[in-house]
Chain A
Amino acid sequence: MTNTWQDIKNANLVIVMGGNAAEAHPCGFKWVVEAKIENGAKLVVVDPRFTRTASVADYYAPIRPGTDIAFLLGVIRYLLEKDKIQHEYVRAYSNAGLIVKDGFGFEDGLFSGYDHEKGDYDKSSWDYELDEQGFAKVDDTWQHPRCVMSLLRAHVARYTPEMVSRICGTPQDKYLNICEMIADTSAPDKAMTSLFALGWTQHSVGSQNIRAMAMVQLLLGNIGVAGGGMNALRGHSNIQGLTDVGLLSNLMPGYMTLPADHEVTFDDYMKTRQFKPLRPGQTSYWQNYRKFFVSFQKSMFGDAAKAENNWAYDWLPKLDIPLYDIIKAFEMMNQGEMNGYICQGFNPQQAFPDRGKIRRGLSKLKFLVTMDPLDTETSRFWENFGPQNPADSATIQTEVLQLPTTCFAEEDGSLVNSARWLQWHWKAAEPPGQAKSDIWIMSQLFHRIRELYRKEGGAFPDPILNLTWNYTDPTEPASAELAKDMNGRARVDIKDASGAVVLKAGQLLDTFAQLRDDGTTDSGCWIFTGCYTEKGNQMARRDASDPREQGIAPNWAWAWPANRRILYNRASADLAGNPWNPQKPVIQWDSTKWVGIDVPDYGPTVKPSESVGPFIMNAEGTARLFARDQMVEGPFPEHYEPLESPVSNILHPKVSANPAARVFADDRKAFGSPSEFPYVATTYRLTEHFHFWTKHALINAILQPEEFIEIGEVLAQEKGIAQGSWVRVASKRGHVVCKAYVTKRIKPLSVDGKSTHVIGVPLHWGFTGQARKGYGANTLTPSVGDANSQTPEFKAFLVNVESVNGPEV
């Protein structure tokens, strides 16, 4: 989230598209209700199904899964055509006026630089034209044919209302109505908030879905303001924390990236990370990259990381491919290239696409370790549970080790929520049985492995042997100790220019501004610096007071970065520093400093006249309508059909799906065709369950006991499917036999003149737990991911459905 949960109440328009906030985030959804009641806000829902969110919406429109980009580029076209953009804002805070290189182009669904052989782009043309000083050229009148605004106009011209409706199946009148509601928030004192989650991410064009809406928000001047923003409603209670501390295969803590193979030296590595400002006077905060990086290395390796060994740069793993995501991992298992797997708090047998492939992969392992409080399907993948898990145990040699762990209520710690708040929690109960904390288990592993390296040497023992491990109880570091490591300390007395000691050795740091690149500070995750200071555990703060009753309680827990609650809040004020919306100012310039309810984006005394852009992480200082080379499939979003789609791309049939998507050969063979699998399916969650674990809890099992699919009345009638009767749903990859919920909430969509049916598949069932045995939605889903993040395309694929007499036995 750029903003915070409470801030949603400041919105004039709430758009839930690409998510189902009421069902997946019922607690946070109270702020939407608050916006409606206290702020007279309208709620718009765009979803293939009429969801529980839609049940309290002012306006609902259906959309075919996987076509949001067409819808949103259509919205952009509408805004530009009707001139419903916030000009001053766009001019100052976006890259609309920057001029793009001559070689950049887009034709027949492909941007310039595509290599058909490799299925990949050479992105060198996706950049600005620079002047002699290395600054991007700019035309703030937006007249230049190659300025971003002109290119954007040309790019979205194809997305007429007719075209949007033909692609998305959304009736034109509904679509235009929504365009109008959105356009109204281009007024400087009006804000729209975008709430989204997997309805956008789980597509082969997932990241671009989000970009498209971010561009809409930018044009409307809705980023950085109260009640606005791009608000990704995150998933697991600490999934935000997971990304923050870099638990993705290509990341390091604080969104630093792992080196690639070709970045042999530390200097190579730094070159591509410390972006120089692309506009005069801009900050380009990544210029501080070195400080964050060195402090991280010091935190990891202590004294062993020193200037002489380039801060132990060589001890970091280097990537030979862009990333080792989960789809890749299971591909490698299937190819016999990965033969051990530690599955910590993860249930891929149910959670990942193409369950058959997952089972086959796990079956080829030498060993599988599961660390989980529950008896998951992954731990039992080898056992025959009937049609729901038809494993042939005798042929499976995998040794499975189940390690029972504690869960959050059985330990102290912090969780980072969607609003980037680090909230401390306290142990409430003793763990049952032999359960041990994840920290204990990992520590045990570490000590044993280090011992082995000590005794036996091995190929590359250095990183393991030199790892810092200073804890009161080395066998089980306390959560607070780990939190302090994340925060970081001064390693020596640190003096200011006058020689006075500003930080004593060992002192906890207050802000990442104190980090240094000379090895005198350490910090495990620079964005977290400030969470645990000499003043105590900031995450444990519980002061709910909200000084202006505007949804910002600065003393409740702690938000990264620097306790900032609304990112890009500088953009909430105009160039002179006066708030666009005087009713709901976030920060403003009082002629000497920035004041307000939030921590400003940059130094509190940086004058507006210095025109430092609010988007300090970007070298331009502005937000990007044109993404340069940051996205795999293009600097502008473009509508590509899902890998499995009932129609080919109307705009460019030859390049129907995302040309930059990574598809493994076997997975491609497992894609179905619309002739065989004529219906579009999408998968999603229900309020009553959390993924695959609440089925172990009796109350949840009672509230939603059995697997089912949702199917519209028209298709049900065609197929002779009665309410609550048994059906068999099949994709090229497998089938599920379960009950049917025949509903008015899914209606056939007219896509390019053809009636298209959507089938809804809730994902929660499996073969362990207290609810009734089920197959799980991922029996059906295709193994392909978003071209940027590799988030699987769970939300749009093809199936067939037929009525059957009863359950399979």
Chain B
Amino acid sequence: MTEPPMADLQSQNYIRRSASTLTPPSVRNHEDEVAKLIDVTRCIGCKACQAACMEWNDLRAPVGTFEGTYDNPLDLDPHTWTLMRFTEYENEQGNLEWLIRKDGCMHCEDPGCLKACPAPGAIVQYANGIVDFISENCIGCGYCVKGCPFDIPRISPVDHKAYKCTLCSDRVAVGLEPACVKACPTGAILFGSKKDMTDWAGERIVDLKSRGFENAGLYDPPGVDGTHVMYVLHHADKPSIYAGLPENPKISATVEFWKGLIKPVALAGIAASAVVGFLHWVITGPNEVQPEDEKEAERVLAAEREKRGSENPYIGGGPA
């Protein structure tokens, strides 16, 4: 292999590996689940996290244009693994709120991308919960895009590999916090064990409720068995106002079916038809032309020749 193995340095603590029928190496199980907590209520939308992600991962999207929003680039792309999304929202009291959400991979406990991925080891999940794309195994099919309930992965039109936030698995593996966390000036992004982050979110929610945000809450959607990137929201009852954060994300039923039941059934069906054919062969044998058939055919042809005159070269005659 010419490429160096990317990020696969953690292969011994996989707990999930895409398209793998055998148990992946997973000896290191004594590991805390991690989580990145994004406190939307203290985020000032400065994009330091976005810049840090670009710096650490050496990503540079093309210089775009202004399109009537502070969202820049306008969408996630292979060079933009995280993106601040700004929403001007008028609340029930008629007061304006400017909701700023850091979009990016949620690192689902039950990752739809991984479920959908057909390439063994192209998507893995470590024991700490991080969902990572291992580019050298990626075939560029884009199934992860369809599998993801959050519309996160993007396929590069250049190298045809899927890209998304790695939760800085390379940094986390050596005991550093993700680059975006380090850069955040307001402490709106925190990183730690999932438990600590959940507890801290609890404190934040108490504070927010005391400030009149009755529906403040933690976004850790159960539909994907929770995520390793969580949000503190002022309006946890309405996640979709935060630039379309899914209300109740789960792996689409279509994907579940496509990647679930039909696989074994289909393969069984294919195998069954082959087996039935074979049995038919064994039981009945080939259907061969009998000498009588040739005779009968010759009889008909002879009669026809008689009718039309033997000179007709075509009936049972020579080369066409």
A residues in contact (CB < 8 Å) with B: 22-23, 26-27, 29-30, 33-34, 36-37, 40, 50, 52-56, 58, 60, 687-688, 698-708, 723-725, 738-745, 770-772
Kindly count the residue-residue contacts between A and B in the assembled complex, taking CB atoms under 8 Å apart.
119
Interface CB pairs A-B, < 8 A, 22: A26-B46, A33-B186, A33-B187, A33-B188, A52-B100, A55-B45, A55-B99, A56-B44, A60-B95, A698-B60, A699-B55, A702-B61, A702-B64, A703-B51, A704-B70, A705-B64, A705-B66, A723-B68, A724-B66, A724-B68, A724-B69, A741-B69
Q: Measured between alpha carbons, how far is A560 from B72 in the docked complex, in Å?
A: 41
Q: Report B43-57 CB contacts with A as 1/0, cut-off 8 Å.
A: 111111011001100
Q: Out of B41, B46, B51, B90, name the residue touching A23 (CB < 8 Å).
A: B46
Q: Does B307 contact A (CB under 8 A)?
A: no
Please encode chain B, from 232 to 265, with 1 for each CB lying within 8 Å of some chain A CB and 0 for all others: 0000000000000000000000000000000000
Q: How far is the CA of A700 from the CA of B186 in the complex (A)?
A: 19
Whether A687 lies near B72 (C-beta < 8 A) is no
Tell me, yes or no, whether B289 is within 8 Å of chain A by CB.
no
With both chains docked as a complex, state the minimum distance between the C-beta of B76 and any C-beta of chain A, in angstroms.
13
Contact residues in B for A55 (Cβ distance below 8 Å): 44-45, 97-100
Q: Is the CB of A702 within 8 A of B60?
A: yes
The answer, yes or no, to whether B63 is at the interface (CB within 8 Å) is yes
Shortest B97–chain A CB gap in Å is 7
> What are the nearest 9 A-B pairs in CB distance?
A724-B68, A706-B66, A55-B98, A723-B68, A22-B44, A26-B46, A744-B88, A26-B185, A687-B46
Residues of A near B50 (CB, < 8 A) are: 703
B63 and A56 contacting across the interface, CB-CB below 8 Å? no
B44 contact from A23, A34, A60, A725, Cβ within 8 A: A23
Q: Are A52 and B63 in contact (CB under 8 A)?
A: no
A58 touching B211, Cβ below 8 Å: yes
- Chain B residues with Cβ below 8 Å from A704 are 66, 70, 72
Task: Give the B interface residue count (CB, 8 A).
Answer: 41
Nearest CB on B from A29, distance (A): 6
Establish whether residues A703 and B47, one from each chain, have CB atoms under 8 Å apart when the complex forms: yes
Decide if B54 touches A702 in the complex (CB within 8 Å).
Answer: yes
Shortest A32–chain B CB gap in Å is: 8
Other CB < 8 Å A-B pairs besides A702-B64, A702-B73, 14 of them?
A27-B185, A33-B186, A34-B187, A36-B207, A37-B42, A37-B207, A50-B96, A55-B98, A56-B43, A687-B45, A702-B72, A705-B64, A705-B66, A741-B69
Q: Out of A29, A688, A701, A738, name the residue touching B63 (CB < 8 Å).
A: A701
Q: Are A702 and B68 in contact (CB under 8 A)?
A: no
Given the complex, which residues of A lie within 8 Å of B68, measured CB to CB?
Answer: 723-725, 739-742
Q: How far is the CA of A771 from the CA of B62 in the complex (A)?
A: 10
Partner of A54, one of B98, B99, B187: B98
Structural contact, A745 and B96, CB atoms closer than 8 A: yes
Asked if B284 is at the interface (CB within 8 A of a chain A CB), the reply is no
- Tell me which of B43, B88, B210 contacts A743 (CB under 8 A): B88
A27 to B182, CA, bound (A): 12
Chain A residue at minimum C-beta to C-beta distance from B65: A706
Which residues of chain A have C-beta atoms less than 8 A from B98's C-beta?
50, 52, 54-55, 745
A725 and B55 alpha carbons, distance in the complex (Å): 32
Q: When chains A and B are docked, how far (Å) is the Cα of A745 from the Cα of B61?
A: 28
Contacts of A724 in B (CB 8 A): 66-69
Q: Are B45 and A52 in contact (CB under 8 A)?
A: yes
Q: Are B185 and A770 in contact (CB under 8 A)?
A: no
Shortest distance between the CB of A724 and any CB in chain B (Å): 3
Report the minimum CB–CB distance from A726 to chain B (whole Å): 10
